[in-house]
Chain A
């Protein structure tokens, strides 16, 4: 098991480096020169000013040197500065991250708990009431985009019935978490519905798949009661593929839910990305992209660990050599 983990981590390092290179060089391919927005239009007109700035910021170094400088700075914890605001990027992240964590974590917990519960019951009682309900819910969740669900919820609960705030994380003058709670409800609900749909389908189908496996017949041939057959044979074996789906949602915790954050003016990382892209704030875009990529790598690492716990055959890869 330990050898398996070490091997898995060893693969992650070159992958992360490769991704960082792609992010860096891709940003340099853009035709838009971010420096233009850094200095006043008057100064930009003067080519010598631009040249001095370029020299000072290291843009005249060979591109590989620039890349390594950027990478080294990141390893030293210096993520650079936003072109737009001049703020250190680490400061921006520290400011925006809690909002995203709050939103995504709540949605992840709610959607995962609900969909596992509904999916397992729906799969175990195929064609039953829960199964039909889950099918309707899933159809809505899959076919309707999340920003539309968000807008619809806003329209109903914020405009027509003024029950909940229209957006933002907090209203002026509010301080405590309880004050913020109403703000959280609609975005979390929107994100949860979108996540729920796929996961319910997935869980249900995985359960149905497992129920027809031969070892379930073996379990029944031992005279076990149905709940025991379901619990220790069907459910545990259905969780593998479901866990993968859940784990691959973890990067949302760092990357934020772009559309939902935009709809609800939620000051998270997702909104930061949108803002950065609109003004070509490359340093911010690059750092956030890198963070998301590393998060995805980490999630897939987590997937392998969880899978190897659920299904011992996965570990085989570590012993055969």
Chain B
């Protein structure tokens, strides 16, 4: 299949991906028509509140959804040289899919204590990935792992190779996790909330480490987070998710400086800053996030949105593209991408 030049720039594309989970014999529609483009060599952040489908998106890409979840429709394409592979068409635990996991797509998980096997030495857990994808002897693998440990700032790597996960601090464990994800030098690394469980100072160290790993090897990173401060520091591109949909996607400047979607705007206004006037109450988004079982076909943010109209609730909302591939899922924007001036416009339409 010949690829368009635009596709060549992307390493990964999601097109209208739908994921549902079976819970107590009823089906929950968790991801709705999620489309994303991940430019090669970029740092993409997926942000959104808990339960919006960020992690599910990551798991769907590598086909590691929990047993009760499945991709119902859509395309997840991985581009390499001029070859496209549709990942979700591959057998879940088949040889071909496994040749992507670890080797081409590395995964970093949030809770490092539970994500590392407590019964195995950390060195072995990292070498395991290397031995799976490369024809190396155990000694060669060990050498490579120790070298990477040193590069990632794990002190005394020769000795630490034989330590168990519980003998490490949270930050050091996350470095081990990063080693597991990057030991085979994958082109794409997906990090699912890698710093959430860490102290703020350690968070900064780990983020710097990730950013350097991305820059030095021209690797592509997808970072899943709900920490807006992190996003502004590391991201090139940002995708904002709300209740299983991507509501806004664009470069970091587009999304953070000129947010278009009412949800993104509300989200950014609710981030506290040091120089804010403390007498003014921090803005919150009114209302509750609806349960994924309750969503109708219209805009899922409509109930909490200051600009919502009846059409918002009844119509399928298309993703609108503005200047510079800034994509927003909102019909209340004019052709320049601005929201109407008046609030609560529901009555005058």
Query: Which residues on B sit within 8 Å (CB–CB) of A236?
Result: 119
Q: Is A316 an interface residue (CB 8 A)?
A: yes
Q: By the criterion CB–CB under 8 Å, are B117 and A219 in contact?
A: yes
Q: By the criterion CB–CB under 8 Å, are B102 and A221 in contact?
A: yes
Query: Which residues on B sit within 8 Å (CB–CB) of A214?
Result: 109, 111, 114-115
Q: What bracket does the count of chain B residues touching chain A fall in?
A: 20 to 34
Which of A236, A310, A313, A316 has the most C-beta atoms of chain B within 10 angstroms of its own C-beta? Answer: A313
B129's nearest neighbour on chain A, judged by CB, is A222
Per the bound structure, the CA–CA distance linking A222 and B166 in Å amounts to 21
Q: Is A135 an interface residue (CB 8 A)?
A: no
Interface string of B88-117 (1 = CB under 8 A from A): 000001010011111100110101001111
Query: Which residues on A sit within 8 Å (CB–CB) of B120?
Result: 232-233
Task: Tell me the smallest distance from the CB of A224 to a CB of chain B, in Å.
Answer: 6
Q: By the criterion CB–CB under 8 Å, are B114 and A312 in contact?
A: no
Q: What bracket does the count of chain A residues touching chain B fall in?
A: 20 to 34
A225's nearest neighbour on chain B, judged by CB, is B98
Per the bound structure, the CA–CA distance linking A232 and B127 in Å amounts to 14
Per the bound structure, the CA–CA distance linking A311 and B133 in Å amounts to 28
Contact partner of B102 (CB less than 8 A), chosen from A222, A228, A233, A316, is A222
Interface string of A196-232 (1 = CB under 8 A from B): 0000000000000000111101111111111010001
Contact partner of B109 (CB less than 8 A), chosen from A217, A223, A237, A316, is A217
Q: By the criterion CB–CB under 8 Å, are A217 and B102 in contact?
A: no
Query: Which residues on B sit within 8 Å (CB–CB) of A225?
Result: 93, 95, 98
Q: By the criterion CB–CB under 8 Å, are B103 and A223 in contact?
A: yes
Contact partner of B164 (CB less than 8 A), chosen from A217, A221, A310, A312, is A312
Q: By the criterion CB–CB under 8 Å, are A215 and B98 in contact?
A: no
Query: Which residues on A sit within 8 Å (CB–CB) of B114?
Result: 213-215
Task: Tell me the smallest distance from the CB of A239 to a CB of chain B, in Å.
Answer: 9
Q: Is B180 an interface residue (CB 8 A)?
A: yes
Q: Knowing A214-B109, A313-B164 are in contact, say whether A223-B129 is a contact too (CB < 8 A).
A: yes
Which of A212, A218, A225, A233 has the most C-beta atoms of chain B within 10 angstroms of its own C-beta? Answer: A218
Q: List 6 A-B contacts (CB under 8 A).
A: A212-B66, A215-B114, A221-B106, A222-B102, A223-B101, A224-B129
- B interface, CB within 8 angstroms of A: 62, 64, 66, 93, 95, 98-103, 106-107, 109, 111, 114-120, 125, 128-129, 132-133, 164, 166, 177, 180-181
> A214-B111, A311-B118 provided; 5 other pairs, C-beta below 8 A?
A212-B66, A214-B115, A221-B62, A223-B99, A237-B117
- Shortest 10 CB-CB contacts between residues of A and residues of B: A223-B102, A223-B101, A221-B107, A222-B129, A222-B102, A214-B114, A223-B98, A215-B117, A214-B115, A312-B164
